[in-house]
Amino acid sequence: MSENHNLLAASGWPEDFRSGFTSFVGRPNAGKSTLTNALVGQKVAITSAKPQTTRHTIRGIVHREDAQLILVDTPGLHRPRTLLGQRLNDLVAETLSEVDAIGFCIPANEKIGPGDRFIATQLAQLQRKPIVALVTKADLVDREQLAQQLIAVAEMGTQNFGENGFAAIVPVSAVKEFQVQEVANVLVEQLPKGPPLYPDGELTDEPEAKMVAELIREAALEGVRDELPHSLAVVVEEMVPREGRSENNPLIDIHVSLFVERSSQKAIVIGRGGSRLREVGSNARKGIEKLLGTKVYLDLHVKVAKDWQRDPKQLGRLGF
């Protein structure tokens, strides 16, 4: 009897209970964060139409009667152009070496391109790790296009991983909730047997301040020009309960710095007469109050940190 079986027997969990870590990879904007949120059933990962919006390893936890699936959401793998890009890729490689299975997200509505092939070659170096192909955004194509994409994905699998190819190929639409449960089933099959790793009811192990920063970043990126995503970093400087409030009516004061690389970007974030920053604050506040379960006061300041993406000292200070 294995150590895991002993653990399961002693803990009262079913003998075939499985638990472990899965990571989604894919080029930027392949639907990784949206799928994480759909599987967990609550918003834990920032989602945006802008590429490269996820910068931290965010874990979502799926609790089932037969399994606990812990999702590690990584930044999109890409050919790096800056020091930040290289650090993000290093973070992905480190994460992938530690997980039990990998979900490779490939959008149904875009032909397989050099970015997908680059990722496949990187994944081929992780020997004997189960890799499941998840053909995302299946709602955006018709049946024939979906069938063609599934064939193309299968071919890429055999080219990179030998004749057996991918461990499984699953078309999915997180937005339409099509096959989301099937994705969970297939990923769970790849996990080792063992007891749950997190207490029931926990949805993520992210520190609250980091999740607050991500919600503000998401609100700040909404509807702005393409030049901003890579250049915006959000740091929660302080989160403190407001003194003198009654227990029934608490308020948390949150002081936040938004860093951009140029004065022109600062003007974009602030908007005319501060209108855009007020809008960012009010949009982010809704999500933050839901997350923390209490009213919050948001104090946002926009600062310029010149070329921070290329400066090791500044990257460290901003949490990268």
Q: Is 295 a known ligand-binding residue? A: no
Tokens 């970093």 identify what position?
Answer: 233
Is 30 labelled as part of a ligand binding site?
A: yes
Annotated binding-site residue? 16 = no
Q: Was 137 annotated as part of a binding site?
A: yes
- The answer to the question of whether 139 is labelled as a binding residue is yes
75 is in an annotated binding site: yes
In sequence order, the β-bridge partners of residue 241 are 252
- Residue 129 marked ligand-binding: no
Residue 77 is labelled as binding a ligand: yes
Nearest 5°: phi and psi at 30? -95, 5
Q: State yes or no: 33 annotated in a binding site.
A: yes
Q: Is 114 annotated as a binding residue?
A: no
Contact partners, residue 142, CB within 8 Å, separation at least 6: none
Q: Is 282 annotated as a binding residue?
A: no
Q: What is the DSSP string of 262-304?
A: SHHHHHHHH-GGGHHHHHHHHHHHHHHHHHHTSEEEEEEEEEE
Alpha helices (H) in the chain, listed in sequence order:
3-11, 32-40, 83-98, 114-124, 143-161, 180-189, 208-221, 263-270, 275-292, 312-317
CA–CA separation, 231 and 262 (whole Å): 9
Residues annotated as binding site for GTP?
26-33, 73-77, 136-139
Residues annotated as binding site?
26-33, 73-77, 136-139
